[in-house]
Structure formats: C-alpha cells, structure tokens
C-alpha cells in the first residue's frame, strides 16, 4: 500500500536553550492512512521529534535548528502548536495530557473549533464516547481524578475532537497496565480504520507499538538507526536484542566489553 | 612602543583611562558649577543604594521592594534622634546602621518561606508599614511638612558645603564598592550565586540557605539605612513624602537599566536614573507649554517608557549594550548571539 | 451606627472585589501579576472625564463610551506590550506592568492636567444618597457599585463555566502548552482576559469617579485591592470575594475604632499576616507558589 507522503521530515536537528541538541539528524516519512511507530530508548529523542513536528511554545525554549518538516506538501518553520492543530496535526502529549481542573466534558469542550464547527463538532464529541464508551459515565468527573487509563482515553478523545488528519501519540503506554495498553491500542487501530486518520506513534514499548504499526523507525541518540516495515523490524534479531530484551547474548557481550575497557584503561 | 603586544597596549590604554578618571573624580568638586556638583552628589548617593540593592537582588537573587522603606528608616533615625534627643552624628550614624540591620532581618524573614513574586509582595507590605509609621511620627510630633535636621557637626566645624558632602559621599560610595566587590568574590558571594541559581542545589551542597539569605538582607539593609541617614543629613530635612514606592522602583530600575547582577551596571544605572529627569527637563523646554508645565508627569512618563524599553529590548542593560559595542569593534566578523533574557 | 458601618463594609468590599476581578483574571489566565491594575482603573475613570466632556448631559452614552474604551485598553495593552513578555521570566513581566503603571500616571496628568474632576456634574448625573432601612445611607453610586459587582461576579461565573471561550480561558491558565496543542490561540485568549480585566477595572473606576471625583491618587485604591485578591488566593474568584470582605472589615474597623490614618496600611498588614500564615491564600493552590 503506497499512499502519498503526509509528513516528510528530513535531517531534523532540534536544540534546547540554544545549546543542548536533543535530535541530531532524523529523517522519516509518514504515509497517509498508515500507523508509523517511532521506537527507541529513553532519551533517544523521540518526544523531542514529536514536539518539533507539533510545535514548540516560548516557554519550551527549543527550536528546530536545521532540517525540514513538510506536512501535506507545506513546509513549516517552527510553527506554533495552535497553527499545527489548525492544519490538522494534533499531538497527544506524554505528560500533562489533560486539564486536571476541568471536568471530562469541559476537556472536550475546551478544544478549539478551528477544524470542526457546529454539527460536525457535535458529531466528533459524541464519537469520542462511541470509541471510548468507558468515558460516558464520567462526563462530570474532574479530569485530575480519573485513572491513568481513563486519562489516556480522554487525551486521545480530546485529540479526536481536533479533527486531525495526523495524530501524534507520545508514550501512550507509560504508567498503564499491559491490558489497558492493549485495549487502547486496539481503539487506535479502530480509529485509523474508521476515520482514516494517520498515526505517528512514539513508544518505549516497542513490541506493543510494532504490533499495530505498518512501518517503523528506531531512534538512537537523536538519530534514526534503523527503519523498515513493522514486520521486518519485529523479526530483526538486532532489534530484538537491543530493545525487546529477548536473547541474553547482547547483555553478556555488552558487559564483557565494559569489563575489558575498564581493564584496558587501568593497565 | 612597537615592542609591546596588542594586549599590552590595550592594558596601557586602560590604565591611562583609569588615571584620567581618578583625576576627573577628584577635580569635580573644585571645577564644576554648584548645580553640577549637586548632581554629582545625587549620583554618588544613588550609587550607594544601587550597589546595596544589587547585592541583594543581583547577587543573592532575593527580590525586595523595600528600598524606600529602608532609606526612610535611616533618614528617620536621624530625624528622630537629632530632633528629640539632640544626639550627635557619630552616635546616630551607627544607630542608623543598626536599625538597618535589624530591619533587614525583619524584611528578610519572609524570604525564608517565599520566593520571587511572593517575596517581592511581602517586602511591599513592609514598605507600606514603614511609610505609615513615618507618617504617624510626623503627625504626632505635629510636623506637617517634615523634620528639620542640623548638619553633622564636631565642635564648631559642620558638614554643610556641597564640596564637603561630595567627598563624604565619595568615601561612602568607595567603601560600599569595596564591600560589594569583595563580597562578590568571597565565599559568601559564591554561596549567594549558587543560591541565586538553584536554591535546592545550594542546600544540597551544604550552604546554610537561611543564613545566607538573611545575611544578604542584613548587609544590604544596613548600607541602605546609612545611605538614608546621609541623605537626611545632607538635605537637612526628612519627610515621608520623599520615600514613596516610586523611589523604590527607581532603584530597581537602576540595576535593571544598568545591567542586573553587575557592579558596573549598578553604577551606570544609578547615574542614568538620576540624570534622566534633568535630561527630560532640558528637553521639555522644547515642548509646548502645556506639557512642560507638568515636569513631574513628564518624568513619570519618560521613566516608565525607558524602563519598558530596557525590559523588552535590552534585558542585559547598559552594560550589555556596551559589551556588545566593544565586541563588535574588536571582532566585526563574528556574528553576535541574540541577547538572552535574564532569568531569575 | 453598626448598621451604617456594615453598609460601609459592604460597599468597600464590593470596590475591592470588583477591582480584584481584574487581578485574578489576568493572573489565572496568563499567569502575570498586573501591578498596573490600579492605574488602569484610574485610566478608566479618566476616560469618563474625557467622554463626559464630549457627551455633556448624556450619561448613558458618556458612561458607555468610557466602559468601551476601558475594554479596548486592555486588549491594546496586551497586544502592544505584554505579549512580548510571554516566555520571559514572570518577574520581568511584573516589572513591565509596574513600569506601565508609572507611565500611565504620567500620561493622565499630561493629557488631563493634575486637577480634580467631577464627571457626575459634567454628565448631569445626580449622585443622591439612597436611604435604606435602619437609617443607613449610601450614595447612589455606591449602591450601583454593589449591584454591579454582584452582577459581574454572577456573569463571570456563568461565562467561565458555560461558554467555550470561558472554558478555554480556564484551560489556558492551567496548561498553556496543552491549550495551544488543542488549537487554542493563546494570544487571543490572553488579550481577551486583559480586556475583561480592564473592563471591570474601568467600571470600578467610573463608579468611584461618579461618587467622589477623579484625581491622580485614585490608583492607590487599586493597589489596596491587591491584598484582597491575594488573601483569597490569586487564582480564585470566590477567594477574591472573601478576601475583599476580610480586608474591608479590617479596614473599616481600624478606621472606626483605632485610627483613621490606618486606612492605607491595614490592607497590607492583612497581606503580611496571610503571607506569613498561608501564602497561597485561603482558596488558592499550593502549587502556584512554585510557579513563580
């Protein structure tokens, strides 16, 4: 399936406070209607990549230093998050993903109407409860009092109300029980199926992400070290040893290497 | 001179400039017109206060809006002790210092619990209380316009001439400069700098955060109270009207306009803020009579504008501007980084 | 006697409560403490002076114009000035507001001169005392102020609870980044918050002007209202009401039973007590202490 490229990122370089480079050189493409997974360890630069695509605000003190981000053929230069949402790129952030002192319903109402007004908007809001029926009885509950899974569902729901064409999801699985993660990921696939939304999914939990993805990128120290179809990545031995924790050889090899280095230095 | 390197020649220039500066500083009281001499006196006095505030806010990172209150305390110490008890200056000045230290302790107490904005607000509250007390004193003593103060005297000699005050202020300013300069480079100064940046780190590496904060307040307030006392002696007059919130903001502006956290900034800023109203007055003569008749309003408006300008566009202050110019002169090919905002 | 005192407390509390709306709005939505609020209130009063000169003997249009100018003023202040301070330290933003206040103090005198004005007379509006049960007397302007304050609080509550913009303002105050990520245009929300803030401040200033005239000292009342907002917890409207009641009661009691000169200092004594005991105010949240 080779649809058009919706998001084209080339040689992205992102720095915080003008000096701390978090992303050195990331190139990736996301095709329309697909689910693309971006996996890698902590600190690999996954969240920064997503944030760079969805837009920084002044308080972040971060900038895209070089490289390009092109969405639907339109080149973007350090856009604001509000602009990106208006263009159709919505992010479900890793932390602080809901407004804790607003009720669940207010969280949905707070979303801007820039991409869906009136009846279309209403349709989207009720859609959220169709996709996540567990949220229905919680409409007047303060979002800060929701459980982790409920909060994640609400975050996804409020992102849906933005009427996005590209959904960026950052670390969906963090802090959630595996069963809950599975459930939500299934919903994500359903969302893609029924609404045709494209998804870029950032995950530390590589097996879960690659389980639902079509294509994948592996990030290491701010660079793409591996890419391929999800099927290929799942089966690649290297990947499995590095990130999935299967196979002890790599760990032994790594430990032996460290021992040798230490011995060598002191000799 | 061809045998000297560029750097040595540069240093040579620096020494020459410094020598010229010293000559000027000592020549002023003999050469300048009385009006200019008075201006110089005002600048020197402001320098003392600005350095004290810079110590507290620029070095130790403690926000305080209590400057006017502390100056008032020193001035009222002079007013009350000389008016009600006829005490001589060599008792009153140290007393003012002690009062300043005590008040500094009080003003500093909120800093143990509060930071940033809330600390500033608490010092603001203290300012109003001091102002109220001063007003109360004046009302009870039935001094509707203020307290008259005799100039400091020993026997038949009294300090009343502008020239005499110039050297007095110069001495105190030099003393303050000496104190602040050395504190900055001392262990205390380094502890303050860590405190300023990251309080959590400071306490983690064993700095007694509470003691350091209070120390900064006490030292700064002592200097301010003494400056207030000098002010009272020089003017021969103390009135609560002189110690408004506007005065505090002027001092805050001095260290901001000059360049937060730097000694040169405090001095430059002091000179700038003191001289600004006179520049405005000079410019006002070119304005229509309706505007020029309200000089104080012009001063307010101009001051507000200048302060906004520096906060918005030149957060590193005059010192930052000068450094930029010097850098540009030395290496015109190297692109300059945009000035970072001064985090606090 | 005590009934009259109670009435005075209510009137003063309403003044402080109405002014506090502005402090809380701007702080809660854009996290900036606007210390020029008193001067902005004064500017609103001066707008009335200007419009009462233009629309002689037509109170409705005169007052209406002034209120409208007050609303616009806030939007302009944000877009022209405060907008450039987002992303810089909170302290720097507050200093900018202080500088703005000083600028305004100078400007009003330059434009209007330093004399006292009585717009009520210019508009032909009779500020007769309104006799109330129990022999209590309050001026018409004061009575209007009480009614308007209550109305504004109710309107504000409904607005923030039930309209989309209101909810978006609350959201922006809680998490500006997430708000932006949900498509909310922060600059527009902040500008609106500032506009509403100066709108309410202008109404307060106008009513005070109709009651007792305008001069350059009016801004002090704005500053005295600040402790009321702080006592309640800077980001709570209910807190501002209660804070206003506390400060007003303390102030009137002090004037009546201790010393009339205390009137300017009592609010700040209350402020210090609250800061010493419970800095985040009665209804505020502890976290906001660390925000700054």
The tens place of each residue's pLDDT in chain C, 292 residues long, gives 688 889 999 999 999 999 999 999 999 998 889 999 999 999 999 999 888 888 877 788 888 999 999 999 999 999 999 999 887 888 889 999 999 999 999 999 888 888 888 888 777 777 788 888 877 888 888 999 999 999 999 999 999 999 999 999 999 999 999 999 999 999 999 999 999 999 999 999 999 998 888 887 889 899 999 999 998 888 889 999 999 999 999 999 999 888 887 888 899 999 988 888 888 888 877 665 555 4
Q: What is the tally of structural domains in chain A?
A: 2
Q: Which residues contact B81 (CB under 8 A, 6 or more apart)?
A: B87, B91, B92, B95
As a residue count, chain C comes to 292
CATH number of the domain bearing residue A230: 3.40.50.300
The more confidently predicted of residues C123 and B255 is B255
Within this chain, do residues A140 and A242 fall inside the same structural domain, yes or no? no
Distance from CA of B241 to the nearest CA of C (A): 14
Whole-number Å distance between alpha carbons of B87 and B96: 12
Helix (H) or strand (E) holding A21: strand A20-31
* Residues of C with Cβ-Cβ distance to A165 under 8 angstroms: none
Distance from CA of A255 to the nearest CA of C (A): 42
The more confidently predicted of residues A258 and B143 is B143
- Kindly list the structural domains of chain C, giving each domain's residue range(s) and its CATH number in brackets, ordered by start: 2-116+140-291 (1.10.3470)
The domain containing residue A60 runs over which residues? Answer: 5-235
For C110, the closest of B110, B297, B312 (CB atoms) is B297
The more confidently predicted of residues B150 and C101 is C101
Within this chain, do residues A243 and A152 fall inside the same structural domain, yes or no? no
Q: Is the pLDDT of residue B52 over 90?
A: yes
Q: pLDDT of B306-315, one tens digit each?
A: 999 999 999 8
Name the average pLDDT for chain B.
85
* Residues of B with Cβ-Cβ distance to C268 under 8 angstroms: 124-125, 128-129
Residue from A11, A72, A44, A53 nearest A222 by CA: A44
> In chain A, which residues have pLDDT < 50?
246-248, 265-267
B106 touches chain C (CB under 8 A): no
Contact (Cβ atoms closer than 8 angstroms) between residue C289 and residue C280: yes
Whole-number Å distance between alpha carbons of C174 and B73: 42
Burial C206-232 (b: 16+ CB within 10 A, else e): bbbbbbbbbbbebbebbbbbbbbbbbb
* Residues of C with Cβ-Cβ distance to A100 under 8 angstroms: 174
Within this chain, do residues A71 and A92 fall inside the same structural domain, yes or no? yes
Mean pLDDT confidence for B279-290? 78
Token look-up 């009600």 returns B84
Within this chain, do residues A198 and A255 fall inside the same structural domain, yes or no? no
**Does C178 sit within 8 Å of A86, measured CB to CB?**
no
* Beta-carbon contacts below 8 Å between B and C: 132
Chain B residue with CA closest to C288: the answer is: B118
Within this chain, do residues A83 and A140 fall inside the same structural domain, yes or no? yes
**Does C164 sit within 8 Å of A109, measured CB to CB?**
yes
Chain C residue with CA closest to B123: the answer is: C272
Whole-number Å distance between alpha carbons of B321 and B258: 10
**Does C174 sit within 8 Å of A110, measured CB to CB?**
no
Within this chain, do residues A128 and A248 fall inside the same structural domain, yes or no? no
Domain boundaries, chain B: 13-330
Contact (Cβ atoms closer than 8 angstroms) between residue B218 and residue B105: yes
**Does C91 sit within 8 Å of B120, measured CB to CB?**
yes
The complex's ipTM works out to 0.89
CA distances from C95 to C7, C33, C224, C228, C277 (A): 37, 9, 18, 21, 26
For an interface test with A, the pick among C93, C182, C238 (most A C-beta atoms closer than 10 Å) comes out as C182
C181 touches chain A (CB under 8 A): yes
What's the pLDDT score for residue B342?
Answer: 37
Burial A181-219 (b: 16+ CB within 10 A, else e): bebbbeebeebbeebebbbbbbbbbbebbbebbbbbbbb
For C265, the closest of B122, B128, B303 (CB atoms) is B128
For an interface test with A, the pick among C183, C187, C190 (most A C-beta atoms closer than 10 Å) comes out as C183
What's the pLDDT score for residue A100?
Answer: 94
As a residue count, chain A comes to 267
Give ∠ CA B188-B45-B262 in degrees, rounded to 5: 40
What's the pLDDT score for residue B315?
Answer: 87
Chains sharing 3 or more CB pairs under 8 A with chain A: C
**Does C181 sit within 8 Å of A99, measured CB to CB?**
no
Give ∠ CA C54-C58-C63 in degrees, rounded to 5: 75
* Residues of C with Cβ-Cβ distance to A111 under 8 angstroms: 182-184
Contact (Cβ atoms closer than 8 angstroms) between residue C222 and residue C41: yes
CA distances from A46 to A93, A220, C4, C186 (A): 12, 9, 67, 26
What's the pLDDT score for residue A260?
Answer: 59
Find the radius of gyration of the CA atoms of chain B: 21
Within this chain, do residues A143 and A211 fall inside the same structural domain, yes or no? yes
The burial of C287, by beta-carbon neighbours within 10 Å (0-12 exposed, 13-18 middle, 19 or more buried), is given as exposed
**Does C183 sit within 8 Å of A112, measured CB to CB?**
yes
Within this chain, do residues A231 and A247 fall inside the same structural domain, yes or no? no
Chains sharing 3 or more CB pairs under 8 A with chain B: C
Tokens of B187: 């262990």
* Architecture of the domain whose range is B13-330: Orthogonal Bundle (1.10)
Within this chain, do residues A115 and A52 fall inside the same structural domain, yes or no? yes
Interface of A with C (CB under 8 A): 54-55, 57-61, 80-82, 85-86, 90-91, 93, 96-102, 106-107, 109-115, 158-159, 162
Most confident range, picked from B191-195, B259-263, C225-229, C231-235: C225-229
Within this chain, do residues A53 and A175 fall inside the same structural domain, yes or no? yes
**Does B311 sit within 8 Å of C96, measured CB to CB?**
yes
Within this chain, do residues A108 and A97 fall inside the same structural domain, yes or no? yes
Distance from CA of C178 to the nearest CA of A (A): 7
User: Torsion over CA of C214, C104, C62 and C200, rounded to 10 degrees?
Assistant: -90
Within this chain, do residues A168 and A251 fall inside the same structural domain, yes or no? no
């Amino acid at each position: 399936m080779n649809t058009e490229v919706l998001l084209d990122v080339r040689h992205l370089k992102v720095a915080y406070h003008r000096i701390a480079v978090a992303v050195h050189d990331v190139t990736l493409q996301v095709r329309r209607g697909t689910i693309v997974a971006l996996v890698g360890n902590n600190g690999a630069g996954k969240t920064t990549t997503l944030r760079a695509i969805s837009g920084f605000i002044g308080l972040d003190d971060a900038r895209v230093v070089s490289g390009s981000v092109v969405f639907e053929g339109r080149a973007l230069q350090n856009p604001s998050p509000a602009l990106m949402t208006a263009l159709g790129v919505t992010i479900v952030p890793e932390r602080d993903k809901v407004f804790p002192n607003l009720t669940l319903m207010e969280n949905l109402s707070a979303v801007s109407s820039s991409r869906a007004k009136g009846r279309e908007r209403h349709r989207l809001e009720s859609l959220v409860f169709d996709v996540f029926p567990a949220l229905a009885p919680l409409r007047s509950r303060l979002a800060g009092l929701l459980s982790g899974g409920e909060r994640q569902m609400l975050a996804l729901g409020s992102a849906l109300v933005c009427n996005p064409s590209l959904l960026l999801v950052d670390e969906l699985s963090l802090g959630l029980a595996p069963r809950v993660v599975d459930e939500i990921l299934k919903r994500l696939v359903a969302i893609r199926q029924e609404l045709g939304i494209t998804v870029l999914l950032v995950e530390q939990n590589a097996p879960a992400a690659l389980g639902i993805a079509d294509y994948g990128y592996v990030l290491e120290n701010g660079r793409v070290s591996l890419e391929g179809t999800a099927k290929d990545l799942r089966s690649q031995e290297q990947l499995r040893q590095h990130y999935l924790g299967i196979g002890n050889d790599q760990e032994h090899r790594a430990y032996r290497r460290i021992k040798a280095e230490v011995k060598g230095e002191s000799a | 001179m061809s045998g000297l390197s560029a750097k040595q020649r540069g240093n040579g220039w620096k020494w020459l400039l410094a020598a010229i500066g010293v000559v000027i500083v000592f020549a002023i009281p003999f050469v300048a017109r009385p009006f200019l001499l008075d201006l110089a006196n005002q600048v020197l006095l402001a320098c003392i206060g600005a350095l004290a505030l810079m110590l507290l806010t620029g070095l130790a990172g403690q926000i305080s809006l209590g400057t006017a209150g502390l100056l008032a305390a020193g001035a009222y110490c002079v007013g009350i002790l000389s008016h009600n008890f006829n005490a001589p200056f060599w008792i009153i000045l140290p007393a003012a210092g002690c009062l300043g230290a005590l008040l500094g302790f009080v003003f500093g107490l909120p800093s143990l619990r509060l930071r940033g904005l809330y600390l500033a607000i608490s010092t603001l509250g203290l300012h109003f209380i001091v102002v109220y007390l001063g007003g109360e004193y004046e009302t009870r003593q039935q001094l509707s316009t203020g307290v008259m103060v005799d100039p400091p005297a020993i026997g038949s000699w009294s300090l009343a001439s502008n020239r005499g005050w110039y050297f007095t202020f110069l001495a105190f300013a030099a003393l303050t400069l000496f104190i602040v300069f050395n504190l900055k480079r001392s262990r205390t100064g380094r502890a303050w700098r860590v405190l300023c940046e990251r309080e959590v780190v400071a306490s983690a590496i064993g700095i007694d955060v509470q003691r350091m904060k209070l120390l900064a307040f006490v030292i700064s307030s002592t200097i301010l109270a003494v400056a207030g006392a000098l002010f009272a002696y020089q003017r021969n007059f103390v009135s609560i009207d002189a110690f408004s919130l506007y005065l505090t903001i002027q001092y805050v502006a001095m260290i901001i306009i000059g360049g937060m956290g730097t000694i040169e900034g405090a001095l430059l800023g002091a000179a700038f803020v003191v001289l600004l109203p006179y520049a405005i007055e000079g410019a006002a003569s070119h304005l229509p009579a309706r505007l020029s008749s309200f000089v104080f309003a012009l001063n307010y408006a101009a001051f507000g504008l200048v302060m906004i300008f520096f906060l918005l566009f030149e957060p590193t202050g005059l010192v930052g501007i000068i450094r930029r110019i010097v850098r540009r002169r030395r290496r015109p090919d190297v692109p300059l980084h945009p000035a970072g905002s001064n985090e606090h | 006697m005590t009934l009259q005192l109670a009435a005075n407390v209510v009137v003063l509390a309403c003044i402080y409560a109405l002014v506090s709306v502005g402090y809380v709005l701007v702080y809660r939505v854009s996290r900036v403490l606007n210390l020029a609020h008193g001067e902005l209130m004064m500017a609103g009063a001066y707008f009335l002076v200007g419009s009462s000169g233009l629309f002689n003997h037509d109170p409705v249009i005169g007052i209406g114009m002034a209120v409208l100018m007050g609303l616009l003023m806030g939007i302009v202040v944000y877009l022209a000035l405060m907008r450039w301070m987002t992303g810089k330290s909170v302290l720097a933003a507050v200093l900018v507001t202080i500088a703005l206040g000083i600028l305004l103090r100078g400007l009003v005198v330059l434009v209007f001169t330093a004399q006292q004005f009585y717009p009520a007379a210019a508009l032909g509006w009779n500020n007769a005392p309104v006799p109330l049960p129990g022999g209590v007397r309050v001026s018409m302007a004061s009575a209007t102020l009480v009614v308007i304050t209550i109305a504004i609080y109710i309107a504000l509550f409904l607005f923030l609870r039930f309209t989309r913009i209101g909810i978006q303002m609350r959201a922006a105050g809680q998490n500006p980044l997430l708000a932006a990520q949900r498509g909310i245009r922060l600059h527009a929300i902040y500008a609106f918050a500032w506009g509403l803030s100066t709108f309410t401040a202008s109404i307060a200033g106008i009513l005070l002007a109709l009651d007792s005239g305008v001069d350059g000292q009016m801004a002090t009342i704005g500053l005295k209202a600040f402790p009321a907002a702080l006592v309640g917890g800077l980001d709570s409207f209910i807190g501002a009401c209660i804070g206003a009641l506390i400060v007003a009661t303390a102030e009137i009691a002090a004037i009546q039973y201790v010393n009339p000169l205390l009137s300017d200092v009592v609010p700040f004594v209350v402020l210090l007590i609250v800061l010493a005991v419970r800095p985040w105010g009665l209804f505020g949240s502890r976290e906001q202490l660390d925000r700054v």
